[in-house]
Amino acid sequence: MKNLFYRNLFNKSNIGYAYHKIIYDKEGMPYDYKCIESNDIFYRCIGSTEKQIKGKTISAIKPEITNLTDKFKLIVLNDIVTDFYFYCKASNERYLVIALMPKKGYIASLFIKQTEDDKKITEYEEQLKVVLEATNEGIYVVNKDGCCIFCNTSCLQLLGYSCPEELIGKDMNKIMHHHHYGQPTDFINDIIDRLFSNKAKQAEHEVFLRKDGTYFYAEYNYYPYYHDDEVIGAVITFIDITNRMTVEHELKESERSKTVLLENLPGMAYRSKFDRERTMQFVSQGCFDLTGYKPESILNNKDISFGELIKPEYRERLWKVWNRLIGTEEKYREEYIINTASGEEKWVLEQGQIIYGNNREIVAIEGLIIDITDQKKKQKEIEYLSYHDHLTGLYNRIYFDRMRDKFNKPEYLPLSLIIGDINGLKLLNDALGHQEGDALIIRTGNVIQSCCQPDHILARTGGDEFSILMPKTDSYRANMMLKKIQRTCEEYNKQVYNETFHINLALGFATKSRIDEPYSKIRKIAEDYMYKRKLLERKSSHSAIIASIKSTVYARSQETEEHAERLQELSRLVGMKINLSEVELDELSLLAALHDIGKVGIDDTILKKPGKLTAEEWIEMKKHPEIGYRIAMASPELMSIANYILCHHERWDGKGYPQGLKGKQIPLLSRIISVIDAFDAMTQDRPYRQALSMEEALEEIRVNAGTQFDPEAARIFIEVIQQKERNK
């Protein structure tokens, strides 16, 4: 210091003075301070001499004074005037240090020795500092401009700063924000500006920004502090409530979800006393939908107890189940029926548990009751479908086998079994379609069922097979039952004009008299009996069905029995002309009569249409050879001509149907009947055209020989017709 006056002034006032040059590192950061000038008080203050200090850096002097560098660094970086306390071990004195930068690159400091009163104040401040540092609350002080002038360690930690120097002087308006939960970008940074209203304030759910840009939710308290009755700043304490808010939010959401869940449960949640009346202490809104009563009507048995809603036959059993659960943690799960306010019965499923107190005393029952009426109905439907035949409604094989096992006990002996099999079902299916076959199965089942007793088990155990289990029925009564079924079938057939739809049933029976007799043996005896009857009846039943099918074809189409007779006559003449064997002549005659038997499976509107068929109708009509083939294959008497029926619409040039065979790939008898059938059709009147003369028809045969017809068969047929005319 050049001015001796000021120097003497500081010396006489007992104030230490020091003037240091700031030393910077390569990055321009201050790291040490070189003493340029100081007074005697400063030397005594740090326990040194002018020689030891002047021209030296702080780091080169005594280690105990190096903490001055941290304080000076804060002043240099922020270019502020500040004060702090400095304790010197050498002199055992405490000083108030006031420091500033009088010009760039230099720092000046004053060291003021504390009085006894000052020391007491300092001790109080130190104690206060300990208290402030010990709390988990963040604490900081702002001046009237909103800038931080003090902060504790918790404040630094919560805001993510490492030392007070980073926060001192910072505008706290940029750290505290108004905020709404769930909208982290909606910040309004004017809280500090609005705090100075001369009274304490408390707020929560505000946002504090950390140093790294992240944020947290805080609850804070604001206390203004005064000087001369004027607010000059504020103390703000705060805590991080992010976790608390998250828990509160989750709790609210949980409560909301529970409320929504209880209101939308497909039944009634409840809490009740442990008593026979089932006194309800709480029920959810689902109570009305379930019982027809409003919750207030059932609570505390105001109008009716829940126990009264339970159907009487279930009450005692359910009460016993609850009592068995006393002292356990087992869950209660029972199904029963309740009577609703409207008188409707509902099936319900109750799931619940006994609630115990601290001393294991019963406090209440809690649970859920849901409506399972629809489920029960579906369950019954499923059980019905599981044990019943879908076509006839009779029991099926699964149920029959279950009852067979049930009846395999001495108390059900003697146990008789009747087995029945429909004759000619396959033939009927092939001839008229499965719709007619199914109808016959249904009619047969109804007829047999009309003969059964309540304790009999009638089941459809196969495609065309029925079985009857008759407990406590001996062989005599079983035989009487068999004859009753036969008589009932005969009575039914008398009422059905068309033999095609007659019930022709082969029956057999057997009786189990001893418990050690296996069921398989009894069934084999009944089946053997039935199959013998089937062999005896099969030929007559098939013949009757074939005759009935022929009659049906004649009735439904434009073909007549006279047409069949003409074809049989001409086919025999042609067959004899080419020296067919007697067997072949019989087959040709049978083919002439039944070649169009497949038309029984064609729709009446097509068969009886007076005009020409459409393309779609022709597609249907062309199916009759295949239908006829299946019918013939189902009957032993017709099997030999089945392939001829299939091929009777094939053409010599390969343009026929259904297989597109060509030339001699077509069976000979099919080629012959093709010519004869075409000739007879041309010489007969049709609704859509007049008949051709014999000469015109023969000319058509001659023209189409080699394309539609076998040329040799056509030639022989023409000769036969001409010879027949000459013999008249």
More confident residue, 387 or 178: 387
Confidence label for 472 from pLDDT (cuts 50, 70 and 90): very high
Does position 1 have pLDDT exceeding 50, yes or no? no
Which two three-digit tokens encode residue 147? 């800038």
Stretch 705-724: mean pLDDT: 93
Residue (of 527, 523, 530) closest to 485 by Cα position: 530
Confidence label for 558 from pLDDT (cuts 50, 70 and 90): low
Q: Just give the CATH number of 391-538.
A: 3.30.70.270
Which two three-digit tokens encode residue 240? 């991080």
Name, of 2-11, 78-87, 203-212, 320-329, the range with top average pLDDT.
320-329
What CA–CA distance (Å, rounded) separates 192 from 174? 9
Q: pLDDT per residue over 361-392, tens digit each?
A: 999 999 999 999 998 999 888 888 889 999 99
Compute the mean pLDDT over every residue in the chain, rounded to the nearest whole number. Answer: 84
Stretch 593-602: mean pLDDT: 84
Stretch 483-489: mean pLDDT: 94
What CA–CA distance (Å, rounded) separates 45 from 462? 120
More confident residue, 25 or 122: 25
More confident residue, 536 or 9: 9
Residue (of 368, 372, 434, 399) closest to 601 by Cα position: 434
Cα–Cα distances in angstroms (integers) from residue 109 to residues 19, 23, 101, in the given order: 7, 16, 9
> Which residue reads 């008898």 in tokens?
669
CB-based burial of residue 409 (10 Å sphere; 0-12 exposed, 13-18 middle, 19+ buried)?
exposed
Pick from 399-403, 484-488, 503-507: least confident: 503-507
Q: CATH topology for 4-116?
A: Beta-Lactamase (3.30.450)
What CA–CA distance (Å, rounded) separates 4 from 25? 34
3-state secondary structure at position 108? strand
Q: Beta-carbon neighbour count of residue 316 at 10 Å?
A: 10
> Which residue reads 């009927």 in tokens?
428
Q: Where are the domains of the chain?
A: 4-116, 135-246, 267-376, 391-538, 557-726
Helix axes 668-682, 561-577, angle to 10 degrees: 130
What is the per-residue pLDDT for 585? 86
What is the per-residue pLDDT for 88? 76
| 234: phi then psi, degrees, rounded to nearest 5 | -155, 145
Name, of 256-270, 365-379, 416-430, the range with top average pLDDT.
365-379
Q: Beta-carbon neighbour count of residue 690 at 10 Å?
A: 7
- Sequence-ordered list of residues with C-beta below 8 angstroms from that of 512, at least 6 positions apart, any chain: 413, 414, 415, 416, 417, 519, 522
| 161: phi then psi, degrees, rounded to nearest 5 | -100, 155
Does position 403 have pLDDT exceeding 90, yes or no? yes
What is the per-residue pLDDT for 54? 87
What CA–CA distance (Å, rounded) separates 589 from 571? 7
Stretch 503-523: mean pLDDT: 92
pTM value is: 0.46
Stretch 325-329: mean pLDDT: 92
> Which residue reads 């809104």 in tokens?
285
What is the per-residue pLDDT for 125? 63
Does position 300 have pLDDT exceeding 70, yes or no? yes
Does position 181 have pLDDT exceeding 50, yes or no? no
DSSP 9-59: HHHHTTEEEEEEEEEE-TTS-EEEEEEEEE-HHHHHHHT--HHHHTT-BGG
Stretch 95-122: mean pLDDT: 80
Does position 347 have pLDDT exceeding 50, yes or no? yes
What CA–CA distance (Å, rounded) separates 68 from 60? 13
What is the per-residue pLDDT for 9? 63
What CA–CA distance (Å, rounded) separates 457 from 316? 35
3-state secondary structure at position 264? helix
Does position 572 have pLDDT exceeding 70, yes or no? yes
Q: pLDDT per residue over 277-298, tens digit each?
A: 999 999 988 899 999 999 999 9
* Share above pLDDT 70 across residues of the chain, in percent, rounded to a whole number: 86
What is the per-residue pLDDT for 121? 61
DSSP 343-388: S-EEEEEEEEEEEE-TTS-EEEEEEEEEE-HHHHHHHHHHHHHHHB
* CATH 3.30.450.20 describes domain 135-246: yes
Q: Just give the CATH number of 267-376.
A: 3.30.450.20
Q: pLDDT per residue over 214-240, tens digit each?
A: 888 888 888 777 777 777 888 888 999
Stretch 153-159: mean pLDDT: 92
What is the CATH class of 557-726? mainly alpha
Q: In what order do the strands lie in the sheet with 457-460?
A: 457-460, 465-470, 415-422, 505-512
Query: In 3-state terms, the chain is what percent helix, strand and coil (to 5)?
Result: 50, 25, 30
What is the per-residue pLDDT for 185? 47
Pick from 103-107, 396-400, 600-604: least confident: 600-604
Q: Does 557-726 match 4-116 at the fold level?
A: no
